[in-house]
Amino acid sequence: MIKSVKLRFILIIAFLVVSVIFCLPNVVDLEGVWKKYLPSDKIHLGLDLKGGMHLLLELDTAKLMDNIVERKTNSLKDAMITDGVRFLGIDRKGTSILVTIRPDQKEKLFNVVGTKFPDLKAGAPRTEGDLMHIDFLIPDKDLASIKENAVNQALETIRNRIDQFGVSEPVIIKQGENQILVQLPGIKDPQRALELIGKTAQLEFKLVDDAATAAGGTGPIPADEEVLKIRSKNRETGVETTAPIVLKKQALLTGELLTDARVHMGGRDIGSEISVGLEFNSEGARIFDRVTAENVGKRLAIVLDNTVYSAPQIRERISGGKASITGGFSVDEAKDLAIVLRAGALPAPVKVVQNITIGPTLGQDSINKGVLATFLAGILVVIFMVVYYRFSGVIANVALALNLIYLLGVFSAFKATMTLPGIAGIALTIGMGVDSNVLIFERIREELRLGKTVRAAVDGGYAKAWVAIFDSHITTLITAAVLFIFGTGPIKGFAITLIFGMVINLFTAVFGSKTIFDWILSKYKPRTLSI
C-alpha cells in the first residue's frame, strides 16, 4: 500500500510541476536562458475579454455567378474562333450563354463544347429564318457545387490574409450557406483589417487605349473597351486623385498565375517610390514575356479590383516573370496589398453584414468581473467544505486547488483561448469538483455510521460514489462535446473549458483526494475521521 501511495504521489507532483511550468509565462516574464528552455506561450484571451472585431461577412454569390458566366462566355468565344466555328453572336443571358450560328455550324459548335466545355449543357436549338439560337447552361447541381467551393475558397483566402496580418487566435468559420464569421481579438486597427479582409484582389493586366484616354474617355468607346479610374497619390500631401483611363476589356494576364508579392522600399534616391514586386509562375512568365514582346511602346495597365494602380509604358521585352506595382503607397498600404496578392483573390466580393468593435475597456471589465465571481465562488466553497466536513474538507480543497492549477496548465500547454464563458466553465468545474467530494464524503459518513473502520469506510465511500461521479461526468462531457461541435465563438470556449475541467476533475476529485486519504491512513492509522 505504501509503495502504491508513493507512486501516486509522484504522479500527482509530476503533473503539478508540469502545470506550474506551463503557467509561468502568465505570471512572470521569462528572460535569458529560462525563456530559451521553458514554455513562453500565455493563455490567449478571446474577443469578449481582450476586445477586437466581430465581423459577419457574406459572399456575393450573384456577382460570383456573373463572373463565372462571363469567363465561360469569353472562353467559349475564344475556343470557337480558334476551332473555326463561324458564329454570328454570343451573349450572356442570366446564367446561360446564347450563341447564334448558321445551321451548318451546329455540329462544329457542339464538338467544341463537348470536348472543351463538358460542364455546359445545351438547350433545344431554336431556328429563326436562316439563324439558329442555342442556349448553353451550367446545371443547377454544378452551380450549387461552385457556390460551396467558392465559400470554402473565400474562407481559406481570408484565413491566409489574417494569418499574414499577424492576429493571434482568430476565429474564422463558415456560417450558413454563404456567410463567414470572423473574430479578431486584440486588433488595434479595425479599419485597416476590414479593408484587408474585404479586398477582392482581382489582379489583371490590360492594354491602354492612349488615344481614347487622351480624349478623357468621353467619346464613343468600342464594345471591347472600358473606362476605369487610374489612382495616383501625392506622397507629400497624401492626397489621392483619380482620372479616367480607357482599357481593353480583355485581360492579358491575371493574378491567378502569381507566386509571390513583396514590398520594395525603393532605392537610395530621395523620393524613390514604395512598390509591390510581383513574381509569376512559369506559365505566367511565358505569357508576360509574350505580352511585353508584342506590345513594345504601348502602355500596360495594372488593375486591381477595377482600379488602375499604374500604367507604365512597355519599353522592351521583359523576361523572367517579374513586374511591380507603384501608386504612391504608404508602407502599410504596400504591405497589405502584398498580403492580399500572396493570399490569393476572393472568388467574389464580400459584403459586411455585421461589424461590431469591442473595446479593450469592456474586455478588461469582463475579465475583472469574471475573475472576481470565480474567486468569490472559490472562497465560499473552501469555507463551506472546511466548516461542514472539517479536516476532510481541507483535503477536498487541496484537490480543488490541484484541479485549477492543472486546468490552467492545460490551457497554457494547448494555447487555448480563454473567453468569458470559459471563465464560467471554470466556475462550473469548481462546482462539479465540490459535488464529487460531497458524494464521496456522504458515502463515507454512511459507512462510518454502519460501524466500519476508518479504512473500510473510506474505501467503501469512494467505491460506492464512483459510479454516480463517473456517470455525471460522462453526461457532462457528452453535452460539452455537442456544444463544441455545433457551437461557435464563446460557446466553443465554454465547451473546451468544460471538457478539460471534467477530465481533470475525475483525476483530482477521485484519484488525488483518495491518494491523500490513503497516505494519512497508512502513516497515522487514525481510529476516527474528521468528517
Q: How far is CA 332 from CA 78, 165, 196, 346, 353, in A?
A: 40, 11, 11, 21, 26
Q: Can you give the pLDDT at residue 269? A: 45
CA gap 342, 434 in Å, rounded: 53
Residue 437 and residue 381 in contact, taking contact as beta carbons nearer than 8 Å: no
* Sheet hosting strand 258-264, strand order edge to edge: 258-264, 275-280, 322-325
Q: Can you give the pLDDT at residue 160? A: 82
The CATH number given to 2-49+361-524 is 1.20.1640.10
Q: Is 475 exposed, middle or buried (0-12, 13-18, 19+ CB in 10 A)?
A: exposed
Q: Can you give the pLDDT at residue 245? A: 93
Alpha carbons within 13 A on the beta-carbon side of 298: 17
Same fold, 62-142 and 203-330: yes
Does pTM top 0.85 for this prediction?
no
- Tell me the domain boundaries of the chain: 2-49+361-524, 62-142, 203-330
Compute the chain's Rg from CA coordinates: 34
Q: Could you please report the per-residue DSSP string of 267-336?
A: -SSTTPPPEEEEEE-HHHHHHHHHHHHHTTTSBEEEEETTEEEE--B--S---SSEEEE-SS--HHHHHH
Low-confidence ranges of the chain (pLDDT < 50): 268-271
> Any idea which architecture 62-142 has in CATH?
2-Layer Sandwich (3.30)
Instruction: Show the cell assigned to 160.
Output: 491566409
> Any idea which architecture 203-330 has in CATH?
2-Layer Sandwich (3.30)
**Number of helices and strands in the chain (H, E):** 15, 20
